[in-house]
Amino acid sequence: MVSYRLTTNGLLHTYRSNLQGSFNTLGTAAEKVQTGRKFLSYAEDPASATLAFQLRREHWQASAQKRNNSTVEKSFQQAFSSFDMVKNKIASETAHVNSLRGLNDPDGTARRTLGQSTLEAAKSAVQTMNVKYGEKFLFAGADGKNAPFDWKEVPVEKQQVYDPETMGADIPKVYAERTQKVDADGKPIIGADGNPEYYEKGDPMKDAEGNQLYYQKGELMLNDKGDPLMETVMEEKLCFRGVPVDSPEKLADGTDNPDYLKLKEMMAETTYVDIGLGMQEAPDGSPIKSTVYNSALSGLQFTDFGLDEDGDPKNAISLMNEIGKLLQEASDMDGQWHKVEGTEDEWTNSSEAYDRLFKLTAKLEKAMDKMDVEYTELDTKAAFLQTNETRLTTEIKELNEQILDVEEIDPVEAITALSWAQYCYNAGLKIGNSILSQSLIDYMN
Amino acid sequence: MSNVSTFGSFSMAKLAIYASQKAMAVTGNNISNINTPGYTRQSLDLNSLYVGGADQFSSKWDAKIGSGVIVSGVSQIRSPYLDIRYRTENTNVGQADKRLEALNELNRVMDEVGDGTGDEGVMEAALQGLIEQLEYYTTEGAGRDDFDAILRGKADEICKVYNTIGTKLEQIQKNQEASFKQDVETANEILKKIQHLNIAIRKAEIHGSAALELKDERNMQIDELSKYVGIDVMYEEEDIGGGFMVDKLVIKIAATDSTNKDIHGKLLVDGQFAGQFKVEDLEETDAAPDGDEQETVKPKEYKMELGDLKDRYGLTAYKQNPIKATETVFGFNMVDNDTNSYTLKIDNTEVTFDANQNKTVEDKLKEFAEKYNADERNANWSVQVVSRNVGTGSTASKEFGLKFTAKSDGKLGGDFNSNTEYPVLEDSQFTGDGPVYVQADGQDPIKVQEGFEIPQGDITGSLDMCKELLTHKYDFSGESGESAGIPYYQEMWNQSARKFAELLNEANSMVDENNVLKADAPVKAENYYQTNADGEFLDANGDVLTPNADGGYLDANGVDQRVARKQYQGGTLFEASGGGLLTAKNIAVSQDWINGKSQVMQSNTDTSLEQTTQNSGLRHLLSIMKDNKVEYQNKNGDPIFTGSFAEMLTKLDSTLAIDTSKTQAELNNYVTSLNELTVDRDSISGVDLNDEAIAMMQYNKSYSAACRFMTQLDQMLDKLINGTAV
């Protein structure tokens, strides 16, 4: 037998709690309109709040990744334009053209000038490859604070050439290898045991009369064991981060050349950045390469390093330098090459020099082919970064929309809800007035 | 013929006038108290009066007429059923309200929705800020001189947010403890008030008053008490002698589990006696007494008890009717050589005496006594057969009984069954209907209810909820089914801070605590140049390198060991300010980092080359900040959550939010229900102006009618006296 009798206080109690509820609803609806948010606390809608934070986090990350992408892309564009200059203007249009002109110069008189121009081109290539983006040298691999390419005097091991002025005395000549003894007619000398006789490596070299021979000026020397006599001289070389780019892979003794290993390591340097490929690390803390992007550019990759099978540089700039030097060695008078005693030129007459120029030109072309490949590669990378930026922009936009969808109110809905709450509250107030005024007592006489 | 009285009907009229007048007064009282909190509508108890019964003049043709109305008292109109429902619901409200109050406090600290610039949240923004800077320096800032200071600033921001949260959580815990103790005080005050009201009501009832207003007050106090603890309320009759009974209020604990007899049904109030809650702070243990690095928060343990039932002077209540004696005699009115059989059972001993045993009473009792004393179970008592002489002369005889002597406290009771009535002797203690409590000399009397401990979760209401909030560690405890209290959030925030510090510290150093290159360091020893205690760089042989103006580092031979660059310099980034276990409250950027001895390790790439813009160290830190595989464990080391630092915050926020949302919904339900019950209760017990207006009209009319009746009688008598036979 409950609730059959609604009392004055019972009615007021119900009214009071309902009015409070109505006022609360009004307050919440008003706050939603004021803040523009669907929920004002985590507890109000835990699922949406969790989703909203997750989306915001993704939005934050995507924005950072876009910034990263943009930075890398700009630096690559800068690198592209510099390398374009080196490849097309300096190497192709200047150095290569110069060498071709040097080869085809009818009287050779322009060779020295061409040489000068080519040397300048090589210097200019170095300066261009030392381009900076922000505070970072673009082609320096992972050492962006230091300019990568430089012409430096470096110690070079060279086989010594006999020069009586510096040597001070005649030095006996020795055999470089085991050599069969022959008589004046050139027939092998047979020993008492019936076998041919030999000069051993390092044995003094004698003429047919048995007189000791001595080194002549300009001759390459051997030590008393018959091995090349080496000396260390300083020579200006193109260096990458202090290491000569034309370092041979092996040392004279056949061991690995530490400089070459350094160059190899420097070429493979990486600085990975997060551009939204899902950056992850392997358990050992190293990055999983497919999830990160390598932003490091190494000048070695673009211009090559080391020596080829002929012992000539592979590096395009070094080749330009070599070509420039060779052209400069042509005579002012007749444009031909004349061997000067005591020099270490790899030619002995003009024809050989011409052949060498021809060879170096071909090698420069080969180096330029390699540059072409790298040029295309860089272009592809820049294109990928552009696409990636578009993807990230779309992702950010979509995330933004999702965040708005989860967090932001629909103004129409919110204002309608507020109006309704206001209407209910006003109606509630009116009812209150009539509740309080009515009872049988008011009608009693 | 029934008795005829000339003025008898005047009395009837007088009683009718009196009844209407009283009824009007009750109506007036009801209207007056319409706004009095707790007031219960009163009504007048009216009974029809009939005087006389069969008398010597009665005749079957006689018409027996009532003598009017009698006002027998004023009573309240209450529904015990609604009171029970109201109080049960009020317990739920008290419990949910207390929980919600604390959760809201936690929300004020932890809820990041709508906080911070652009509604990004505060901690969330701090964490993302560090990630953002790491992204920046990884991409274009590696090698810049300012990166370390900027990252330190961001890290400091995170530490400060952790500190604020840690401090505030501790404050909430302290506030909750104060609130718990205050609530216990309030509940005790209520119990005292009820006890005093019980005494006052008892006195009033003995003096014939209904004590309705006191009962109203008492009902209000019981309602209030039900917020703090779940209760069962009962009214028992108390015999105060002379066949006069008064109500006795008994309030018992309604335990969470009604089969838990240790708690359920225990007395909180028993008439003039009441218990008091006690809370004892158990000694606080160290942060990690067992060297458990996992656990950083050891919340204070509380022992909640209900004390002995005591009277209003604080004296302990004892069993109502203890026999203050060391011995008691049970007498049996049996006869020798009985032809009937019967069984005597006292305490643990039972003996059946068959019919026609040809034994004397004395022999039978001796047989019983012997068996009783031999039984080891009857440890509290010893028994011997006693006799007394009754009657004199030819009626002289002997009666026999069993005299029990107490060896210690204990109860004694038994049955005496036979197919013939052999009443026990009149002055015997043995009544045969229940145990008799006997107190041994020099021993404490038996308490009505001894104090006892109330374990967590065994009772309902806000007191238990307070304790739960103060002690529960939920997931962290590794026990299933627990709800999250404040220590859970403290513990998880501490773990969050600690994981953050530990993982970044670990990633930022390639040496162990002894400054030796770790076995799993990504760099080979020949490529790693560590620093000494003064922050100077050492070469592979441990010799100090000398920095030169070009930023190089020269060895003893003047060779630039540039590889000993700062990129490898890492070190501790975070530490516990003031030492001890690292917590949210004390996490700080390390002094070494501030002093420059530590810095963010830019590179961890194994190389002998100089790599001024190598970013592998920074990228590794970035990966850790974003890694969603950070594992958080409970105190047993079992994983309870795996995710990034930021996801851990979301997990904590959402755990709190879901709890809050659930508690809010529960509270809404309970409050709605309570509101309905309030109205329902009011529909029975409340004053309604319409009702009272009707009553006024009704009593006004009945009053007028009674007066009219008296006038009519007067006129009739006037006719009889003055107008008859004139």
- Compute the C-alpha angle B556/B561/B566, nearest 5°: 120
> Scanning the structure block, which residue is given the tokens 């630039």?
B560
| pLDDT value at residue B293 | 59
Sign of CA dihedral B577, B583, B585, B587: positive
Least confident of A351-355, B87-91, B548-552: B548-552
Give the CA diameter of chain B.
Answer: 161
| pLDDT value at residue B325 | 46
| pLDDT value at residue B568 | 79
| pLDDT value at residue A437 | 64
Q: Are B132 and A64 an interchain contact pair (Cβ–Cβ within 8 Å)?
A: yes
For chain A, the first-to-last Cα distance in angstroms comes to 33
Closest to B475 measured CA to CA, from B717, B716, B658: B658
Helices (H), B612-644: 616-626
**Number of residue pairs across A and B with CB atoms under 8 Å?**
219
Give the phi and the psi of residue A98 in degrees, each rounded to 5.
-60, -45
Region B648-652: mean pLDDT is: 93
pLDDT at A128 over 70: yes
Partnered with residue A256 across adjacent β-strands are: A250
Q: How does residue B446 score in pLDDT terms, banded at 50, 70 and 90?
A: low
Closest to A327 measured CA to CA, from A64, A140, A5, A111: A111
**C-alpha to C-alpha distance for A174 and A115, rounded to whole angstroms:** 39
* Contact present, B355 and B341 (Cβ < 8 Å): yes
Q: Are B610 and A146 an interchain contact pair (Cβ–Cβ within 8 Å)?
A: yes
Where in B513-612 does DSSP place strands (E)? 546-547, 553-554, 574-576, 587-589
Q: Are B139 and A279 an interchain contact pair (Cβ–Cβ within 8 Å)?
A: no
Q: How does residue B437 score in pLDDT terms, banded at 50, 70 and 90?
A: very low
Q: Which residue has the higher pLDDT, B355 or B679?
A: B679
Closest to A294 measured CA to CA, from B648, B605, B122, B675: B605
Nearest by CB: B682 against A7, A72, A272: A7
Residue type, B89: E
Query: Both tokens of residue A158?
Result: 């060279």
Mean pLDDT of chain A: 89
Cβ contacts of B620 on chain A, cutoff 8 Å: 281, 285
Give the phi and the psi of residue B637 in degrees, each rounded to 5.
90, 5
Region B153-163: mean pLDDT is: 96
| pLDDT value at residue A285 | 84
| pLDDT value at residue B335 | 74
* Contact present, B474 and B563 (Cβ < 8 Å): no
Q: How does residue B441 score in pLDDT terms, banded at 50, 70 and 90?
A: very low
Region A51-77: mean pLDDT is: 93
Nearest by CB: B619 against A64, A284, A287: A287
DSSP, residue by residue, A143-157: -TTS-SEEEEEEEEE
| pLDDT value at residue B314 | 82
CB neighbours of residue A50 within 10 Å: 19
Cβ contacts of A72 on chain B, cutoff 8 Å: 139
3 state DSSP class of B681? helix
| pLDDT value at residue B4 | 59
Query: Both tokens of residue B67?
Result: 């003598």
What share of chain B in percent tops pLDDT 90?
A: 49
| pLDDT value at residue B532 | 74
Nearest by CB: B121 against A50, A53, A440: A53
Closest chain A residue by Cα to residue B142: A144
| pLDDT value at residue B220 | 96
Q: Which residues contact B145 (CB under 8 A, 6 or more apart)?
A: none
Q: Which of A4, A5, A275, A277 to mutate to test the interface with B (most CBs of B within 10 A)?
A: A5
**C-alpha to C-alpha distance for B289 and B581, rounded to whole angstroms:** 12
pTM for the model: 0.80
Query: Both tokens of residue A56?
Result: 């915001």
Residue-wise pLDDT tens digits, B335-357: 777 777 777 777 778 888 887 77
**C-alpha to C-alpha distance for B228 and B222, rounded to whole angstroms:** 10
Residue-wise pLDDT tens digits, B129-156: 999 999 998 988 777 778 889 999 999 9
Q: Helix (H) and strand (E) counts for chain A? A: 10, 9
**C-alpha to C-alpha distance for B255 and B236, rounded to whole angstroms:** 21
Residues 597-626 of B with CB under 8 A from A: 603-605, 607, 609-616, 619-620, 622-623, 626
Q: Are B619 and A8 an interchain contact pair (Cβ–Cβ within 8 Å)?
A: no
| pLDDT value at residue B551 | 65
Q: How does residue B594 score in pLDDT terms, banded at 50, 70 and 90?
A: very high
| pLDDT value at residue B324 | 44
Q: How does residue B432 score in pLDDT terms, banded at 50, 70 and 90?
A: very low
Q: Are A145 and B143 an interchain contact pair (Cβ–Cβ within 8 Å)?
A: yes
Give the phi and the psi of residue A5 in degrees, each rounded to 5.
-120, 105
Q: Are A37 and B507 an interchain contact pair (Cβ–Cβ within 8 Å)?
A: no
- Compute the C-alpha angle B602/B608/B613, nearest 5°: 30
Q: Which of B140, B520, B698 to mutate to test the interface with A (most CBs of A within 10 A)?
A: B140
What share of chain A in percent tops pLDDT 70?
A: 97
* Contact present, B509 and B572 (Cβ < 8 Å): yes
**C-alpha to C-alpha distance for B677 and B462, rounded to whole angstroms:** 20
Partnered with residue B536 across adjacent β-strands are: none
Q: Which residues contact B679 (CB under 8 A, 6 or more apart)?
A: A3, A6, A10, A13, A14
